[in-house]
Chain A
Amino acid sequence: MTPEKRPHPERRTYPFSAILGQERMKLALLLNAINPAIGGVVIRGQKGTAKSTAARGLSALMPALAQGRRPPFVDFPLGATEDMVVGAIDLEAAIRQGVVAFQPGLLARAHNGVLYVDEINLLNDHLADSILDASESGENIVEREGQSLRHESRFILIGTMNPEEGEVRPQLLDRFGLAVSVEGEREPALRVELLKRREAFDLDADAFIARFRDDEAELAGRIVAARRRLREVFCPAHLSGFIAEICQRNHVAGHRADIVMDRAARAHAAWRGADDVSADDILAVAPMVLLHRMRTAEPEVPPPPPPPEDRPDEQAREEPQDQDSSGDQDDASSPASNTQADRGDPGGSERTAPPESDESAQQETSAANDEVAEIGAAFTVRKLDAQARDRVFRTGSGKRSRSRSACKQGRYVKSAERRDRNDLAFDATLRAAAPHQKTRRETATRDLAVHIADSDIREKIRERRVGNFLLFIVDGSGSMGAHRRMVETKAAIMSLLLDAYQKRDKVAMVVFRGRCAETVLPPTNSVERAAKLLADLPVGGRTPLSQGLETASQILRQVERRDPAALPLAIVLTDGRANAGLGCSPPHEEALRAAAQLRELHPAARFVVVDTEAPGVVRLELARKLADALNASYFKTEDLRAEDLVALAKETQTW
C-alpha cells in the first residue's frame, strides 16, 4: 500500500443548489468563491445544519484552474500532525536517493482551493495558528527540521464551530473574513422538503445529482461571470465612508473589518450583476463582517448615506435614507448576530473583562423561591497555587504533555534518543546515522542512500500547552445569602472562570446547599456555559459540606480515570459552617474527615479554599480548618485580587 498520489476514494457531493434555506451561509460562501481575498468564512451553529455539505458543495462550483484541474477541496482532519499541515522532509527521497526534498503538506495541497476545517474550535492552537497565518498571508513559511522555504498557499478557508464546545480566541476569529451563524429551519414545510431531498440523495446520489445538474451549471456560470465583473466594480467614495462609519460605530478592533467589508460589498455587487457598489450591498454583507468582530453584542448599522449628488461624505449622514432599501435592509437591521449576543460572546469578555461582567450582573434572573444573587464585578485573579508547589506543577505540566505517549500533537521542540511513541524525528535520526554511513555501506544488503539502524532513531519531543481542570465546589447555603456574600463569591467565581477561559481549562462545578450536593456542571470545556449557569445559581438552605466534598471526589475520580495524568485544581468556596451531615457526628467534624479523605484519595489534585466569611471583627475562620484538612492553600475572598500588575505578570508566568 503505497500512499502516493492515488486518487482518493470518490465521494458524491450533495449539490450546492439543492441546499434549502441557510441563505446567509450560502451567500457568505459564494462571496468567497467570487473573491477569495475576502478571507474565508467561519460558520457558527448547531449540529446538523448542512455546514459541511455547503462547504463541499461550494468547491464543486468553483471554476476550474489552469489545465482544467478541479480546485482542490482539502478536508482538514483533526488528527493531522504539524508536519502534515506545513510540510516535512520527504523521507523516501532522503533514504533512497539521499536528497533533501520538501514534502508539501495540507497547506500546499489546498492552494487555489478550499481548506475546510470542521470544528475549528477543537483544533490545537498551534495548528490553528499555522492555518490562519497562511490563509492571511497567502503563503506558507516552513522553518523546521532544517528546512527553510516558503511556498504559495492561497485558499478559501471555511471553518465551522459549535460555540457550545468552546470558543475560538478572538485573534484567531478576526482572521476569518466573514462569519455566519446558522440554525435549523423552523418552517415544517421546508424541513419536509429538506428531508425528502436528503433521503433522495441517500437512496440514489447519482440520480439526485443529475436532477440538479442544470442548476449547478447556472450557479457556476454566475460565479465565473461575477469573478470577471469584480475587477470593474466601483465603490463610490461616499459609500467607502459609510463602511468606515459602520465599523467605527461597532467598535471593531483594527482595520481588517473595513477592508473585508469593502471586498465583500464589491463581490456582492458583482454577484448581483451591478457595476457599482450600492448601500444595499454593504448592508447585506455588514452583519457577516461584524458578527465575530464586535465588542458590543448588538451590531449597530447607521442609515446609509445619501447618493453622491448631494454632497460627499460627512455632513448629511444624519438623515435616514431609505430609497435604496429592498429586502436586504430588513435583513441587516435585524441581523442574525442576536444569537451571538445570547451566547454571551466570551471573546468580548476576554478583552473587556470588567464591563462585560457588569453587564452580566444585570442579567439577574427570576428563580422560583430561592434567592439568586447577582454577580459582583469581576477582577483579575491572583495565582492560586502556593509558592512551593508552583515549580512542581510547571514542570509537571510540561512533562504531562510529553508523557502522553499516544499523542503526536504539539510543536516539535527537540528530539531525544528513546522510542516509545513511534514519533520519528527524521532530521535528528539522519544526523545520528551520518557518522556510520561509510561502514554501514560496506556491509549493507540494500541499495539505499542512507542506512539507518535502530540505535539512530530519535523521537520528537513535543510541547503542548495543557489546560488544567478546575473543579469549583461552591457553598450555596443560606448563610451565603447574607451581606451580599454570594455577590462577592460569584464575582470571585466569575473572575476565576474568565481566567480559566483564557487558559483554556476544563471546568466543573459542584454546589452544595439544602440537603444535598449537586453536580451542576459536569466537566466541560465550555467555560461560557459555566458563566451562564453562575448567573442563575440560587442560595438558600443548610450547608451539607461533607456531601459537597463527596460529590467532588466522584468528579475527580471521573477526571482521573479519563486522563490519569491530569492535575486537577479543586477550589472550595465556603465559609466552612457545615450544618448538615450524612451521619450522626457533628457536621463540621464530618466535613473535616471528608476533607482529609478527599485529599488522600486524590493525591494528584491540588486544593484551594476560598473563605467567603464576611470581613468583620468576629471571624470564625472555620474554612481555615477545612483548608488544613485538605492541605489546601487558603485565601479570603478579598485576597483573591491580584495586588498589582507587576505581581500579576509574574504570577501568570508561573501559573
Chain B
Amino acid sequence: MVTMERACAHYPFAAIVGQEVLKKSLILNVINPSLSGVLIRGEKGTAKSTAVRALADLLPEIEVVEGDPFQSDPHDPKTMAPEVRARHEAGETLPVRRRKVRVVELPISATEDRVIGTLDLEVAIKEGRKTIEPGLLAGAHRGILYVDEVNLLDDHVVDVLLDSAAMGVNTIEREGVSFSHPARFTLVGTMNPEEGELRPQLLDRFGLCVHVEGLRTPADRVEVVKRRAAFEDDPAGFVARWAEETARLRAAIAAAISLYPQVQAPDSLLFEIAERSLAMGVDGHRSDLIMLKAAKALAAWGGRDAVSPADLAEAAGLALAHRVRRRPFEDIANARTA
C-alpha cells in the first residue's frame, strides 16, 4: 500500500499554476467527502496527479483507533470494524491516534485480492487460523482512494470498487473467509480519454467530473516551468516558501467544513436542480443530490451560508458533464456544457 501520509516533500497544492476547476473540485470533496469523488479527464502532463498527491497536505485530521488496519472511528461504534467494535463493546478504552486523512493510491496492476483483502494463507494452513490480510480499501476508509488511469483498470477490480463505493462497505467473500468492514472513501480517478472510455456505471459513481487542459497563455506556461525547476532544485526550500499559502488554504478549508452544515438552499434552487437534470436528460437521480451537495460546498467555500444561483450553475457544470445521456458513441467532451 502506498500511503502518502509521510511528510516528504510534495509539490505544494497552492503552488499549482492555473487548473482552478481541478483544484476547486478536489477542495469541494475535502469539504464534503460524501460528494463521492471526482474524475479528472485530460491529457498527459496537466498536473492531474500532482494535484491529487498535493491534496494530502491539505487534508484535515481525523481520529482513528490506534493499530486498527480498518481506520475505525473511536467515537462511532456503528461504523467500527467488527473486531474494534467487539473491543469497544467489551468496555475497553480504545487507544486513539490523530492523523491526517490519507490518500491511498491504487496501482493499475493491483489484483482483486490486494484491493479487497484476502485470507492470509500462510497462517491459515500452518496454524489452522483464519486471519484477514486487509486490502487497499481498508486503508482508504475515511480517506481518498486515488486511481491513476482509472480507465485502464481491470474490469474485475472496477466492479469491486464500484460495489464498495456504492455500499460504503467492503465485503470479503473468498477462500472461506466472510468478512466485511466499512469502506467509505472519496474516489479520485484520472484518465486520458484517448486511452478509452469508462463504463457509464463507473462514470456515474464519480460525483464530479472535470476536464483539464494544458495552460493556454505563455506567461502561465513559463511560470509552471519556473516553479517546477525551483521545486526540483530545492524541494524543502520550495515547500517552505509556500508554507504560508498552504496554511491559509488549509484554514480556509477548515472554515468551509465547519460552515457547511449551516448552508441552506432555497426551494426555488431545488427546482432548478431538478429542471437542469431533466433538461440534460441524465439517468436516475444521483445527479440531483450531487449538484445540491456541490452547490452547498461551493457556498461554504465562498464563506456564504446560502446557496446562490451562481453556485448552482458552477455545481451543474461539475456534476452533469459526465452524466449526460449520450448517444452511445459521442465523446463526453463534445456533450459538455458550459
Contacts and interface: CB of A to CB of B under 8 A. Distances in A.
Contacts of A77: 116, 160, 163, 171-173
A9 B80 contact: yes
Interface in A120-134: 122
Nearest to B160: A79
A387 interface: no
B333 to A, nearest CB: 13
Instruction: Give the secondary structure class of B's interface.
Output: helix
Interface stretch (B43-51, B195-203, B212-220): B195-203
B328 A84 contact: no
A6 B80 CA distance: 12
A7 B178 CA distance: 11
Interface stretch (A193-201, A472-480, A487-495, A567-575): A193-201
Interface in B196-250: 196-197, 199-201, 204
Interface stretch (A28-36, A46-54, A277-285, A623-631): A46-54
Interface stretch (A85-93, A149-157, A262-270, A311-319): A85-93
B123 to A, nearest CB: 11
Contacts of A529: 328
Contacts, number: 227
B313 interface: no
B126 interface: yes
A186 B175 CA distance: 45
A52 B285 contact: no
Contacts of B111: 405-406
Interface residues of B, number: 77
Interface in B263-301: 267, 270-271, 273-275, 277-278, 282-289, 292-293
Contact of A192 (B126, B179, B274): B274
A619 interface: no
B316 to A, nearest CB: 14
Given A9-B79, A9-B182, A2 B131 contact: yes
Contacts of A273: none
- Determine the interface band of chain A, counting residues with CB < 8 A from chain B: 35 or more
Contacts of B69: 1
A521 interface: yes
B163 A9 contact: no
Contacts of B292: 195, 199
A408 B112 contact: yes
A533 B130 contact: no
Nearest to A456: B125
B278 A188 contact: yes
B254 to A, nearest CB: 20
A613 B293 CA distance: 58
A596 to B, nearest CB: 25
Contact of B199 (A92, A165, A188, A424): A165
A642 interface: no
Looking at A195, A196, A529, the one whose CB has the most chain B CB atoms below 10 A away is A195
A48 B204 contact: yes
Given A8-B82, A77-B160, A533-B329, A424 B125 contact: yes
Interface stretch (B10-18, B21-29, B55-63, B151-159): B151-159
22 contacts: A1-B83, A8-B169, A9-B169, A47-B204, A47-B284, A47-B286, A48-B204, A79-B172, A79-B173, A83-B174, A84-B176, A92-B124, A92-B128, A95-B128, A184-B284, A186-B278, A195-B288, A198-B289, A199-B289, A457-B125, A520-B329, A522-B329
Given A77-B173, A91-B128, 7 more contacts: A75-B169, A106-B178, A198-B289, A407-B156, A409-B156, A448-B128, A452-B126
Q: Which 8 A-B pairs have the closest CB atoms?
A: A48-B284, A95-B128, A48-B286, A406-B111, A6-B82, A46-B283, A191-B274, A3-B179
